[in-house]
Amino acid sequence: MNNLLSTKDMSAKTAFEILDTARELARITDGPNKKLPTLRGRTIVNLFFEDSTRTRLSFEAAAKRLSADVINFSAKGSSVSKGESLKDTAQTIEAMGIDAVVLRHSSSGAAQRLAESGWIKAKVVNAGDGTHEHPTQALLDAYTIRSHFPDHDRDFSGLHVGIVGDILHSRVARSNAYLLSSLGAKVTMVAPSTLIPTGVDQWPAELSYNLDSVIGDLDAVMMLRVQSERMSDSYFPSEREYAHDYGLSENRLNQMKENAIVMHPGPMNRGLEISAAAADSKRSVILEQVANGVVVRMAVLYMLLGGVPIAGGSEIV
């Protein structure tokens, strides 16, 4: 792997190699010794121009568990406030000697620009670019779904995933639509018409405006955060109406299939897109998603920085 920028062009073969590697890393580090010497001497920078809890911390944990050195950069408090560009910031950090950049940026396409501009030689991982893509989130979501449906270990055909809510502002929705459909799943986007982006008809997904009509058919219900910070307009009449029409209430939770799971990439707006009853229910795998993020990001860093994909039983050194 050269860079990890999106799931749009990722083959199912590559995705399963990453998921298999993550599973093997989970097996190896599921003991008292969580640390591997694999990336000793390598330096990874977390270059974050937007806020993050889960992604930044799990990339840091992943890099450290592979014995890499980690530099954390946050735009807040940096020379970005003095007008320094992405190019100059990245080149400045590379001058300190780095092997990979994990980039989160508010501009869609920023990671691709950094990877393909020739500004730096380091590998680039997209940790979320604007409303475009969040490929490692989709990979950890696929890993989580796979762990709950072992009959679909190498093929997600027959699984139906609903992605519900603020599709318009979501990079998670797009990355998941491409990845999960490539693995064989049926994907349905569920949202009010005001929260559906133009061009969604090109996505490998079906579309529904009615959560109640699809909820009973879903194996995984992925609720999306209402991204108020990206909204300059009013996209629904009131929070109360949104929660009524599109929130995962206790009543809707009870209409789900017996083995269906509840997912959310976080952070959650409890009481808006998801009720506390759903977030804290037995069906909820939200904290599993967080835990799986570490091993999936370990696999991505391992494969980017020279490791070959590993199948079960192989040695990682």
- The rounded distance, in Å, linking the Cα atoms of 301 and 216 is 38
Q: Please choose, out of 4-12, 59-67, 74-82, 262-270, the segment that lies near ligand CP by the rule CB under 6 A.
A: 262-270
Name the one range near ligand CP by CB under 6 A: 11-19, 78-86, 196-204, 260-268: 260-268
By CB under 6 A, residue 3 contacts ligand CP: no
Check if the beta carbon of residue 264 is closer than 8 Å to that of residue 225.
yes
Which residue from 54, 64, 148, 270 is in contact with ligand CP, where contact means CB under 6 A?
54
Q: Which of 38, 55, 131, 269 binds ligand CP (CB under 6 A)?
A: 55
Nearest distance from C-beta of residue 229 to ligand CP, angstroms = 11
Q: Would you give the binding string for ligand CP spanning residues 99-138, x where CB under 6 A is met?
A: -----------------------------x-----x--x-
Residue range at the interface with ligand CP (CB under 6 A); choices 21-29, 52-60, 187-195, 210-218: 52-60
Q: Is the Cβ of residue 29 or residue 46 nearer to ligand CP in the bound state?
A: 46
**Single residue of 162, 165, 247, 265 touching ligand CP by CB under 6 A:** 265
How far apart CA 111 and CA 125 sit, in angstroms, is 7
Which window, 48-56, 87-95, 233-241, 303-311, contacts ligand CP (CB under 6 A)? Answer: 48-56
Instruction: Give the x/- contact pattern for ligand CP in 205-244, rule: CB under 6 A.
Output: ----------------------------------------
- The residue written with tokens 């949202």 in the block is 191
From CA 35, how far away is CA 173, in angstroms rounded? Answer: 32
Position 72 contacts ligand CP (CB under 6 A): no
By DSSP bridging, strand 100-105 and strand 43-48 are parallel
Burial of 108 (0-12, 13-18, 19+ CB in 10 A): middle
| 52 part of the interface to ligand CP, by CB under 6 A | yes
Q: Hey, is 147 helix, strand or coil?
A: helix
Residue from 266, 270, 277, 281 touching ligand CP (CB under 6 A): that is 266
CA 301 – CA 78 distance, rounded (Å): 25
Q: Can you tell me the distance from the alpha carbon of 246 to that of 252, in angstroms, rounded to the nearest whole number?
A: 10
Nearer to ligand CP among residue 295 and residue 310 (C-beta): 295
179-191 burial by CB neighbour count: b if 16+ within 10 A, else e?
Answer: bbbbbebbbbbbb
Candidate list 53, 85, 92, 259; residue touching ligand CP; CB under 6 A = 53
How near is the Cβ of 127 to ligand CP at its closest, in Å? 7
Burial class (CB in 10 A: 0-12, 13-18, 19+), 169: buried
User: Which CB sits closer to ligand CP, 134 or 186?
Assistant: 134
> Could you give the angle at which helices 171-182 and 12-29 cross, rounded to 10 degrees?
100
Distance between CA atoms of residues 149 and 116, nearest Å: 37
Residues that bind ligand CP (CB under 6 A): 52-55, 128, 134, 137, 265-267
